[in-house]
Copies of this chain bind each other. A is one copy, B any other.
Amino acid sequence: MAREQVFNFSAGPSVLPASALERAKADLLDYRGCGMSVMEMSHRSPMFQEIFDSTKQKLKEALSVPDSHEILFLQGGATLQFAAIPMNLIEGGTADYAVTGNFSHKAAAEAEKYGTVHVAASTADTGHDRIPAQEELRLSADAKYFYYCANNTIYGTEWQYVPRTAAPLVCDMSSDILSKPVDVSRYGLIYAGAQKNMAPAGLTVVILDKALCGRELPFTPEIMSYRTLVKHDSMLNTPPCWCIYMLGLVLDWLAEQGGVKGMEQIKRARAAKLYDFLDNSALYRAHALPGSRSDMNVTFRTDSKELDAEFVKGAAARGLVNVKGHRITGGMRASLYNAMPMEGVDALIAYMKEFERDHV
């Protein structure tokens, strides 16, 4: 089966740019004639250091990261950051958490081990179908930081604004990083698992205001101390070399798309097309409310669990794979990450129309 016949709507790990995969394939046994795979290189070798440095530089440029902030290439995913963030920043005090979905809920629960968590907002009462407005945020006077998840992968909602808070902003951008411009200077810390818009699973990117280093609790593991990691430029130990290399290739592709500005136009067009179809459908309904909708994860359903299951099965048979919703929500989810071509959205809508015609 040719690769082009499948469109992968997985919420993560997810579709990667074909050009990046092709480059990786061409170099797999022998990177630039060095006789080694990138997978075999010493992380202390000049050749890998060049890959590391250039990837970091490309990311710095793609997101216009100011010199006040450091980029870290880490392991452990968001779940490790759920602990690392309070261990490094809460100082035994209070932090504000906006709970708008599953991952911000988990982050808040983990932080309770290390300090006082104040829920500044929660959308649990309406099935996390929206993002709270600035006016709804109940901010603590003494918060060490304000935590939120920019895009809720499971529910399909996305913050359309940057919260205004006195405390440093800490943001999980796992599923919308690199999809639009971000003013990094407004954040104390941004982090993202790579396995959606950046690279294969196994890499976590942290972008940190260096002024926040040095506040870790005494029992913080060295591998989770931002101060230590900044000092060692992410190489306290062997980094996830292959994923860093892949991120570099994905960033090359991103630059060809016009960077994050180009990507913003593309992702808006992609999502608008699907939401427009949903809002005019007699069979499907979108989960997230207008004004809170994610351009990355479009969640929808019919009124019947049986129809939902039939839809998912029929989609897979056509090469539209991984459109089943998360087990928490049920229904369907089409993740439209950076590497999803418009043809994938068109193919999905064509199938949705056909399925609707056959079932209404």
State A15–B16 Cα separation when bound (angstroms).
26
By a CB distance below 8 angstroms, the chain B residues around A338 are none
B35 touches A6 (CB 8 A): yes
* Min CB–CB distance A270 → chain B (angstroms): 18
State A41–B246 Cα separation when bound (angstroms).
15
How many chain copies does the complex carry?
Answer: 2
> Given A6-B35, A8-B36, A42–B322 Cβ distance below 8 Å?
yes
> Given A13-B40, A35-B1, A236–B28 Cβ distance below 8 Å?
no
Cross-chain contact of A236 among B14, B79, B195, B322 (Cβ < 8 A) = B79
By a CB distance below 8 angstroms, the chain B residues around A221 are 79-80, 82-84, 87, 110, 113, 224
* Min CB–CB distance A28 → chain B (angstroms): 4
Interface-lining segment among A60-68, A163-171, A237-245: A237-245
Chain A facing B: main interface SS: loop
User: Range of interface residues on chain A?
Assistant: 35 or more
> Given A80-B223, A221-B83, A39–B246 Cβ distance below 8 Å?
yes
B75 touches A77 (CB 8 A): yes
By a CB distance below 8 angstroms, the chain B residues around A346 are none
> Given A21-B29, A29-B25, A243–B202 Cβ distance below 8 Å?
yes
* Min CB–CB distance A318 → chain B (angstroms): 12
Q: Using an 8 Å CB-CB cutoff, how does the interface string of A232-263 with B read, 1 for contact, 0 for none?
A: 00001111111100100000000000000000
B6 touches A114 (CB 8 A): no
State A136–B84 Cα separation when bound (angstroms).
39
Residues of A at the B interface (CB closer than 8 Å) are 1-6, 8, 10-16, 18, 21-22, 24-25, 28-30, 33-37, 39-43, 45, 75-80, 82-84, 87, 110, 113-114, 193, 195, 200-203, 218-219, 221-224, 236-243, 246, 319, 321-322
